[in-house]
Amino acid sequence: MKAAVCEEPHKIILRDVNVPGPGPGEVLVKVKASGICRSDVKGYLGTHPGVIYPMILGHEFSGEVAALGEGVESAYGDAPLEVGDGVIVEPLFPCGECTACLAGDYNLCYGLTMAGHQAPGSFAEYAIARAALLYPKDQSLSFDEAALMEPLAVAVHAVKRAGTSIGDMVVVLGSGTIGLLTMQVAKKAGATVIATDVSGDKLHLAADLGADYVVNADTSDPCELVMAVTRDRGADVVIDCAGTPQTLMQTVDLVRKGGTVTMIGWTGEESDRISLTKITRREINLLGSIIYCRDFPTAIELAVSRNVNLSSIITHEFELAEVPEALEQLSRDGHEVIKAIVKFAEQED
């Protein structure tokens, strides 16, 4: 099969590799659509701490069942699974035996491997998935939309983790893919949402997709708007989807006393600047949020019921052969790109 292999940072080559064989409990998926994530760009640049090389990057994908491993008869929740079925992939391989897995927190698994990071990913014609973490693709969803269930699950996890509920004022910092999805999920949780970004185009889309307020952090201070609409108290919840030094500093100024800051984005630095004095004296809850854990069913429900708009955030499309240049392009200038999707032409088996 053809695969875009990242041999080492800055070196990605399209070449023929063997089609992987599904092990017990695994499924071979013929990839139909794969999102390109910021973490794929970090993997390409060598700035993602979790990626080992050589690696086939890509972890946001949907496809069709091509082969079932030993003992596999069903997907998540005992849904029947047959060759040719359309599926949505949760791209994790938790060990199932460590203390985190036994506690049900498989996103925190001590032996976790993830497609595109430590296990071969979806910038290839075929990829392996865990049968128990495969979900039948509803006919109403396109393969492109189905591929975006992964970032949507990231958003669902963060909104749940922040304890967002009806009537909350939520600030979402960053209006890229994760920010736009987080904003939509927070709206569905009953919140009023203020979206920020430094791109007017992204804020325009945020407003179209339902943000109650948008503020361009490049030209105005988000704090002014947040204080104006919260009568100088601050927001109940701040979710930082950008993870830049600037947004991280802003979080504690935007949140109210006793409010919650949830981090999805991260700088990758050994240490970051944030006011611990404000966190302590204003009794702010500061939470990390990493990938997802039992969040795909919620994400799928939101997508199938059309309560979240996925297709509007897809701004660019590439073919598998274009992955090397796409990653190079996104690593240099990705500002106008929200979500790029790799589409797979019908291939002969």
Q: Please tell me whether residue 37 binds Zn ion under the rule CB under 5 A.
A: yes
Among the listed ranges 101-109, 217-225, 303-311, 312-320, the one in contact with Zn ion (CB under 5 A) is 101-109
Smaller CB separation from Zn ion, 254 or 291 = 291
Minimum Å gap between C-beta 166 and Zn ion is 29
Q: How far is the CB of 160 from Zn ion (least distance, A)?
A: 18
Q: Is residue 98 near Zn ion by the rule CB under 5 A?
A: yes
**Minimal distance, residue 178 CB to Zn ion, in Å:** 8
The 8-class DSSP code of residue 43 comes to H
Q: Which is nearer to Zn ion, 154 or 217 (CB)?
A: 154
Q: Give yes or no for residue 109 binding Zn ion (CB under 5 A).
A: yes
Q: Which helix (H) or strand (E) holds 179?
A: helix 177-188
The reply to whether 291 sits near Zn ion by the rule CB under 5 A is no
Between CA 58 and CA 4 the distance in angstroms is: 10
Report the residue number, 39 or 164, with the smaller CB distance to Zn ion. Answer: 39
**Residue range at the interface with Zn ion (CB under 5 A); choices 106-114, 138-146, 157-165, 170-178:** 106-114
Provide φ and ψ at 14, rounded to 5°: -85, 120
Q: What angle do CA 326, 85, 91 make, to 5 degrees?
A: 50
Q: How far is the CB of 100 from Zn ion (least distance, A)?
A: 5
Residue among 317, 334, 306 nearest 184 (CA): 306
94 vs 120, which CB is nearer to Zn ion? 94
* 95 touches Zn ion by CB under 5 A: yes
14 in contact with Zn ion (CB under 5 A):
no
Task: Give yes or no for residue 108 binding Zn ion (CB under 5 A).
Answer: no
132 binds Zn ion (CB under 5 A): no
Q: How many residues bind Zn ion (CB under 5 A)?
A: 7
- With CB under 5 A as the contact rule, which of the stretches 32-40, 156-164, 220-228, 280-288 interacts with Zn ion? 32-40
Q: Does 181 bind Zn ion (CB under 5 A)?
A: no
- The Cβ of residue 10 has, within 10 Å, a number of other Cβ atoms equal to 12
> Could you give the CA distance from residue 320 to residue 305 in angstroms, rounded to a whole number?
30
The H or E element containing residue 211 is none
Closest CA to 123 of 287, 334, 330: 330
Contact status: 101 vs Zn ion (CB under 5 A): yes
Q: How far apart are CA 165 and CA 159, in angstroms?
A: 9
- Determine, following the binding rule CB under 5 A, whether residue 337 of this chain makes contact with Zn ion: no
What six digits make up the tokens of 62?
A: 């949907």
Residue 194 contacts residue 250 (beta carbons within 8 Å) = no
Minimum Å gap between C-beta 82 and Zn ion is: 28
Q: What letter does residue 315 receive in the DSSP assignment?
A: E
Long-range contacts of 212-215 (CB under 8 A, 24+ apart): 214/175
Residues that bind Zn ion (CB under 5 A): 37, 39, 94-95, 98, 101, 109
